[in-house]
Amino acid sequence: MNRKIFWLASYPKSGNTWIRMFLDVYVTGFPVNFNTAYRYVNLDHDLGMLQLVSAIPVNTLTLEQQFLYQPAMLSNILYQAKTKDVIVKTHNANITISGIPLIPEPLTGGVIYIVRDPRDVLLSYASHLNKTHAEVAAIMNNMQHVVTSKLNRLFHVMTSWSYHVDSWVGKRKQFPVYVVKYENLLREPEKLFKEILNFLDIIDINEERFQYALEQTIFANLSKKYKITS
């Protein structure tokens, strides 16, 4: 299979949603819609795709069982894709669970990793979780931090903020990693979004469609309309 996964990765509340929605509008040409934001970018915990490869109901899987099926689920996403490569959003750290890599190297073409000042992450995450700053500071320093989805009981392995960042952009890079600083994206969205598209091998950028996507997903509008902070 010649297709590869390009990961859109970040710790929560770091800008992942903003970039995901920009890519969705640019590629599809449709107006931004938070309720259908996965028209182009895929989820790394796609319930339907996971159930196709799981022998038991996915809402009964243990953490280890979920990630045992992860490579097969990702292969299924690649096999059914209608595009050259596939973009998959994740908040997981780049680690292994029981010897199984959460980010399989043979399936991976590259990574866009978004990093944000952890002080701002803390403020946004505290508001999102409705917790105190002290509680969220403890979460961001917890190497065992795992989030369980309320909708489908699937797991997201976060680890601590610092370990999460290092797992993706540290010295042991297995594949190309393009690091986007959230603060730079706020200052120079046009420049950085074009660099993101180039990294995804979208070189011949359609300027009209690009400007439309930029206008649709300008952060001030997204934040006002959908209360998006990342």
Q: What is the 3-state secondary structure (H, E, C) of 35-97?
A: HHCCCCCEECCCHHHHHHHCCCCHHHCCHHHHHHHHHHHHHHHHHHCCCCCEEEEECCCCCEE
pTM (whole model) above 0.85: yes
**Each residue of 155-198: pLDDT tens digit?**
999 999 999 999 999 866 789 999 999 999 999 999 999 999 99
113 secondary structure, DSSP code:
E
Residue 229 clears pLDDT 60, i.e. is over it:
no
For residues 170 and 193, what is the distance between their CA atoms, to the nearest angstrom? 23
Q: What pLDDT, on a 0 to 100 scale, did the predictor assign at position 227?
A: 56
**Each residue of 78-136: pLDDT tens digit?**
988 888 889 999 999 999 999 999 999 999 999 999 999 999 999 999 999 999 999 99
Q: In 3-state terms, what secondary structure has residue 216?
A: helix
- Mean pLDDT across 4-29: 94
Q: What pLDDT, on a 0 to 100 scale, did the predictor assign at position 40?
A: 83
Domains annotated for the chain, with CATH where assigned, are 5-226 (3.40.50.300)
Averaged confidence pLDDT in the chain: 90
